[in-house]
Amino acid sequence: MSSSLPQILLVDDTVANLQLVSDFLMKAGFNVLAVKSGVQALKIVAITLPDLILLDVVMPEMDGFEVCRRLKAQEETQDIPVIFMTAVTDRANPSYKIKGLKLGAVDYISKPIQLEEVLLRVQTHLQLRALTQQLTEQNACLQQEIRVRHQTQQILQETERRWRSLLENVQLLVVGLDWQGDVEYMNPFGLGLTGYTSAEVFGKNWFNTFIPSSDQPQLKQTFHELLYHNSYAYYQNSILTKSGEERLIAWNNTVLRDITGAIAGIMSIGEDITQRQAVERMKNEFISLVSHELRTPLTSMRGSLGLLKMGVYDNQPDKAKRMLDIAVTDCDRLGRLVNDILSLERLDFGQVTLVKEVCDVADLIKHSVEAIDAIAEAAGIAIQVTPLSAQVYVAPDTIIQTLTNLLSNAIKFSERNTTITVGVQHQSDCILFHVTDQGRGIPTEHLERIFGRFQQVDVSDSRQKGGTGLGLAICRSIIQQHGGEIWAESTLGSGSTFYFTLPVYGQTSPSSLL
Ligand code: ADP
């Protein structure tokens, strides 16, 4: 008998029945295990699990109900279909069948047994069992699939959350455009930068809203080429904010496609490089200014020394000395230029730590005047200091450097027998210094410009007065780093006044000042 045949466990204490049903089922193609008692049946089941059990109800020792109860109590055996066989009629005991069904039996066969009926019921329940098993397996597969989908969904949600958090927190402009160039998305940084709300930009045409009109045709063309030829993945252009300000953005673009592969639009990530560009431009301008300024004395020096080397003035010692004087003067100027450039750079890039201390204003002015007194005397100029007393919290050397520079300028640009006055006023929230001369004055349009680097009113100033055009730029940097301001007022031909302020230190009595 093949083991792949359905296996039926037949349990009946009536040997004739056992024989009859067993023979019949075997002929019908089943593998039958026949036992005479419930106890034997349970022993068999512990060794091999049948596909179906035909169970007599009334048996000595252990009746069919008890066998069934025990089978249903065990996990391994609870699913085996049990069909009761009994001679107790429905009419004799109507609750009998119900009791069996309640215990988990699937069917009843009444004795005397109709073999055809047994076969039909066995076949039906085996089929039902097979179908149930199939359904259970399918159900398990479905449950597994649901679990996998649920996990996938959670992973997707997490990925989406991470992307969203990245888009919302990144300090870069992120813009999504559809294939027509209409805005589908702009991240909070982009909204902050442009000054719009999300409702104001959604659906707006990018080019018409954000691009200066003169750049629109070119950028529309670029957008088209990016979409359909995947070119221009990186470029820079200006965008307009809501207030009309222009910002320069460096873009990184990606073409987006829908699930069918059709072009859907672009996602662009942009960095605001306006500031960097400005710094870069300033740096370049500064380098070309410095190169120009350094070349002038160098060329002059080269000229003088070249003439000497060629022996042009070998027999004219006065002229040769004059050439050497020029070379020395230019050399000094070069030295001053390099020093000024270095100190300005150090100040501007915060490499100079201002070591501040409480200083008396009178002392600062006294030291500055002393440093410049000899030059003033040689130039025939008097320096008059208004007596005062106030305290400031400053790096003294730098303030003396500022005052000395202003005094030196005042001397350079004044005639003999004039007077320079230095004074201080106590303002409500600061100390105001002033250096006033009776010199040539400064044209109004130069009053602000002279605080820039290498700015001089007259191109001959550097040559004739030996300046570098960096002194006032250094003064401004020093004063600004002390939290003050510096500026000039002037009347052409009558003189100039340079002012600067420093924050007041502590409580100073106004009566003790000017
Ligand atoms: P430098 O004096 O070395 O040329 P500064 O930055 O100190 O450089 O001054 C810049 C320019 O401002 C001077 O070259 C001069 O043209 C003008 N200037 C500064 N101070 C005075 C002043 N007191 N009177 C007239 N012009 C002045």
What is the 8-class DSSP label of residue 4?
A: T
* Ligand 1 center to 93 CA (angstroms): 128
474 lines ligand 1 (CB under 6 A): no
Residue nearest to atom 21 of ligand 1 (CA): 409
129 lines ligand 1 (CB under 6 A): no
The alpha-carbon radius of gyration of the chain (Å, integer) is: 52
* Ligand 1 center to 375 CA (angstroms): 16
Bigger pLDDT: 273 or 339? Answer: 273
| 1, 25 contact by CB (below 8 A) | no
User: Which atom of ligand 1 has the smallest separation from the CA of 495?
Assistant: 24
488 lines ligand 1 (CB under 6 A): no
414 lines ligand 1 (CB under 6 A): no
What is the 8-class DSSP label of residue 119?
A: H
CA count, 13 A, side-chain hemisphere, 164: 6
Neighbours of 439 (CB within 10 A): 21
User: DSSP readout, 382-426?
Assistant: EEEE-----EEEE-HHHHHHHHHHHHHHHHHTS-TT-EEEEEEEE
Cα–Cα distance measured from residue 77 to residue 9, given in angstroms and rounded to the nearest whole number? 12
pLDDT bucket at 479, cuts 50 / 70 / 90:
very high
Across residues 469-496, what is the average pLDDT?
A: 93
Cα–Cα distance measured from residue 465 to residue 455, given in angstroms and rounded to the nearest whole number? 14
Closest CA to 462 of 305, 336, 286: 336
pLDDT bucket at 211, cuts 50 / 70 / 90:
very high
Among 332, 450, 486, 499, name the best residue to mutate to test ligand 1's pocket (greatest count of ligand atoms within 8 A of Cβ): 450
Cα–Cα distance measured from residue 211 to residue 219, given in angstroms and rounded to the nearest whole number? 8
Closest CA to 359 of 436, 435, 431: 431
* Ligand 1 center to 337 CA (angstroms): 15
* Ligand 1 center to 215 CA (angstroms): 43
Q: In this model, does residue 510 exceed pLDDT 60?
A: no
CA count, 13 A, side-chain hemisphere, 399: 33
Residue nearest to atom 8 of ligand 1 (CA): 469
Cα–Cα distance measured from residue 449 to residue 495, given in angstroms and rounded to the nearest whole number? 17
User: Which atom of ligand 1 has the smallest separation from the CA of 474?
Assistant: 6
457 lines ligand 1 (CB under 6 A): yes
Q: In this model, does residue 241 exceed pLDDT 90?
A: yes
Cα–Cα distance measured from residue 25 to residue 434, given in angstroms and rounded to the nearest whole number? 125
Give the SS3 label for residue 509. Answer: coil
Closest CA to 454 of 305, 329, 231, 294: 294
pLDDT bucket at 212, cuts 50 / 70 / 90:
very high
437 lines ligand 1 (CB under 6 A): yes
Across residues 320-339, what is the average pLDDT?
A: 89
**Looking up tokens 């007596």, which residue turns up?**
387
